[in-house]
Structure 1
Amino acid sequence: MVSRVLAIEGSKAFRLVLKGLFTNAGMEVTILENSDALEDCLENTSFDFVCLGLHIPGSLDGLEVCRMLRDRPGYRYTPIVLLTSEAGQATQTEAFSSGFTDIFHRQELDDLDAYLKRHQEMSRSVEGRVLYIEDSVSQQMSMVAFLGHSGLTIDAFDNADEGWKAFQAQDYDIVLTDIVLPGTMSGLHLVHRIRRLEGPKGDTPILAITGYDDPSRRVELLQRGVNDYVSKPVVPQEVLVRVRTLLKNRYLVKQLQEQNQQIEAQSRNQLSFLASISHDVRTPLNGILGIMELIRSAKLDQQQLHWLQIAMQSGEHLVSIIDDVLDLSRAEVGEFVIEQQPVLPLQVLQNVASNLKPQADSKSIKLNVSVSASCPDVVEADGRRFYQVVTNLMSNAVKFTDNGAVDVHLDFIESADASADGMLIGTVVDTGVGIPDVLCDAVFQKFRQVDAVARSKGGSGLGLAIVRTIVESWGGSLGVESEVGKGSRFWFNLPVNVLENDPLMGEAHLETPSFKPEDLKILLVEDNRINQLVAGGLLAKLSLQHDLAEDGQQALDMLAQKDYNLILMDCQMPVMDGYEAAAYIRHSDQSFQHIYIIALTASAMITEERKCYRVGMNDFIAKPVQLDSLVKALNKAHGAIGA
């Protein structure tokens, strides 16, 4: 619906300006040169918007024209704006007391343009189905006519009982109801019934019509579930404005809900994709690393053992990349956890430096590691996460440095904060290619390699994103300073508690079995032939016997024929998967329902781990399976079985 605007302006040049302004706003404009032609104009045309100057030619000035229009029935609620160069307090007071809606400066028409667009938006037809309950026949008829003219569809009733039946049968966009109504149900009772419903119907916007002049009673309406109210005597224009606002809010909420549903669906798809990729990559990796672990027990010369160690390190590096992706996915769904355990900071730095030394030596780079005298020997921290932070920063420094050195330093500052004893402060300084200032923030983004040099060095673009995720989840801070061609300085602060030093704490050791071979009666459930060979080989290294089932159904059949106290269960198998088999075992009335079950799965997502526990499994080992992690799980199982 096109708005019709009336303007009175004596200046020919400004009339052209106003005509262009109103036309561009999509309005149908009539501009008079003076106020003398106003009466004839009003007889022939009804206007939706009026724009006046303060000193206009003719028998009436702007203030007098405004007062005259307000006395006419059709212009009581029409927007009337004043265009003036006089913005004093006296002018404003007189203008508003004369009935002007707003005041705009003649030299600054941008504000008026924005006002016009808002007016046009509020003048458009509004779509929606309204349930209207009003016992006054005259009030109901006038409201139905007015709202219907605005584009709304109205279902009107004179009592809440009939209105409630209609509400149950139809979907309404808004409810407009009087509070005091005849019959067995009041308007407030209707509000109670609607708000007790679940889903979208229970959230339908409600606009109440009330004669209450007590603010506490009106507040009570809002507390009971009314979204807004109008007071009697009812002004249809006010009702329409409030209906528009409620419908717009409902539309925006619906949009947000749909967007949230799309985001959640995308997140689920992303996690599903990552779970699939993780499983598909970990399955062959389990075979590769597992067979290499078995080969390492064979008689090899030093050269062969060296080659094998390089191959195993490469495979473990690939596993670490997969773990980086999974860690990021955990962080995005709020599942990233920082654990606390004794950690030797200097030993972590030395271990990382030892791993990176061959790469640094090949480029003739000096790799220097140091700690300050104030740095404690042992801190309470997340050792694996700390290792990830140091590894990613140091490996990046070595990767992007072709000449010079990489210096890594660790310091400690005591803190007055009761949540931690102090801050562990790490710096990694290199003499590499450097990073442009404008790209320093971008290096911490996922899958972001900031320039051609970075892309030429390879990598997944995840390392620094993981560092940021860990540091921020830990409650620390992270930053970088760099100069192109001269190198970079990365730093991080991590809150930690200081622990007493244990001389034996730093000694590397493998988990030793706490069980005897005859203690564990093992059923291995695994469909992949290579993984069968790997798991069987690892068990054989521990002198453990086992039987093999190739799917969940075969496992159940074997449980019915022989006694086992431990199952190593793959999760994704044909015929019957591990989840279904574990759930069947736990809910069976057979004697085997208490068997200890360890999941051996390439699905390493946190959601998959939780699913394993949810169906009744006791422990979880992600593939590729390492001998040490298997021994730890078997020791735990032996303790539980013995108990």
Structure 2
Amino acid sequence: MPARSPALMLRAISSQERAPMSRTVRSLLHDAPILDPQLTGSEVYDLFHDDPDLLVCAVVEDARPIGLVSRNAFFLKMADMHGRALFGRRPITYLMNREPLTIEDDRPIVDLSGRIVTDRPSALFDGFVITRDGRYLGVGTGVDLMGVLHQESEERNRKLVALAEQLGRARIEALAAAQAKSEFLATMSHEIRTPLNGVLGVAQLLIESGLDPERLKLAETIRNSGEILLRLLNDILDLSKIEAGRMDLEVTSFSAEEIADDARRLWRARAEEKALTLRVHCESGAGRRLEGDPVRIKQILFNLIGNAIKFTDAGSVDVVMRLVPIGRGRTALRAEVRDTGCGVPEAARAKLFTSFTQADGATTRKFGGTGLGLAICKRLVELMGGMIGFESEAGQGSTFWFEVVLQDGAAPALPQPANVTALPADAGEGPAILVAEDNAINREVVAGFLRLRGWSCDVVADGQAALDAVGTRAYDLVLMDVQMPVLDGLEATRRIRALDGPAASVPILALTANAMRGDERRCLDAGMDGYIAKPIRKEVFFAEIERVLVPAPDSERARGKVA
């Protein structure tokens, strides 16, 4: 192996030595350095850095090409986390493409372009190696190829333009997908935080109500479960983590009966709202402890139950969980969710577990939905090494199921009751407060919080009703949800600010599950005085209310500025 020296990076072929333009690959020879296999990543980095027009180099050993280094691919690897540390001192052979497109110099250009279009489109960006009788002659790039094709054949140029247009469409589709992902994350955040606000809000109200120790422990369990869901939401919102498959399972001890009880308590009210019969049954394995991630298992099961209730207008939803010991300290958990709903249309079955989209992303939409649906369920089941599937008949209902294999677990330690001190309610009549919230559970939660201070409130279910109420009665404060039917909270606030008289200056706090970056700014730009994200935290809730209710000199009031 010859010693490394600057001579090893001299141009392989000067521009004066190029063959005249012809219809062979020889005409595509490109000025580029020849890289010795022992050159380090740092040395090649300097080479590309010093020559911004250098697109590709070949690694050559004993006059034969052994790899190709493309500028874009090389910089992507070096710019990755720890890239410089991993590859900076290693030979360039760690970074090169070991199987580049290689072609003899006497082959017609049409052969090369045909191979790129049909088999190796990446070579249009990464470049290719040109040889003569198997020995290295030089390299070529997509830029060179397009130039020659343009001069020699309009038809061949048309093929490359078609490929470029295809790549352009892919870029446009990627940008559209990124926008759709942002909208999806915002929708999912709202849809999950809205019911979660009810869970955490009611739990906090129960804890504040002076329960006996046994019931206090139950309320603490509800609150702790809600906190787990909130942490889960934050994980889900990190979509890049999901797409990269870096979601971690938190393995703890649990029982299938606990999951069944949670499902029964959570979904009973929703089923009753639609006059559906909800039955949740855990077959066999009474008292058996399992080792797994109950949060992820609940997420899968609850999504299936929620879908079943959503798409069933009459009849029942039956949930059956089975435990089957399979030996060596392992147990198979199978859950089935059967409904008497509309079933899955034949046209939708092929893509049922791949991707869902939100049909209506406006703030006045009638039906909710995250758009994540079964796609995330499938990923979670596969992350646990399990399977998921369904059987359905249009108009007759569906059965969705999943199976995971879990380790048997030991009995859990008994939890200790938490010490909680109830906050005494303030005496006095209190301020006149209007709550605009379309979700009945959330209205009860907000009213319950206000009762902790001895305050009462008026409630309305949409933005138009809030606008009408402010126009007919003087309020000291409006708690305004953002996503509501008829008129959303942002537009209702703008119209209140446009009213004549004192009503236009009533303090308005956003009370919303929209917790994505930029949501607070949109609320403040609409004329609101502050922002409280759901799930509601009691301390934050009252701190914001007290902030906007405290009188301040006009010179210090700046609408839209949060303390």
Q: TM-score, normalised by structure 2?
A: 0.44
Name the one with the larger helix percent: 1
Q: Which has the higher contact order (CA 8 A, sep 6+)?
A: 2
Considering only CA atoms, is the larger Rg found in Structure 1 or Structure 2? Answer: 1
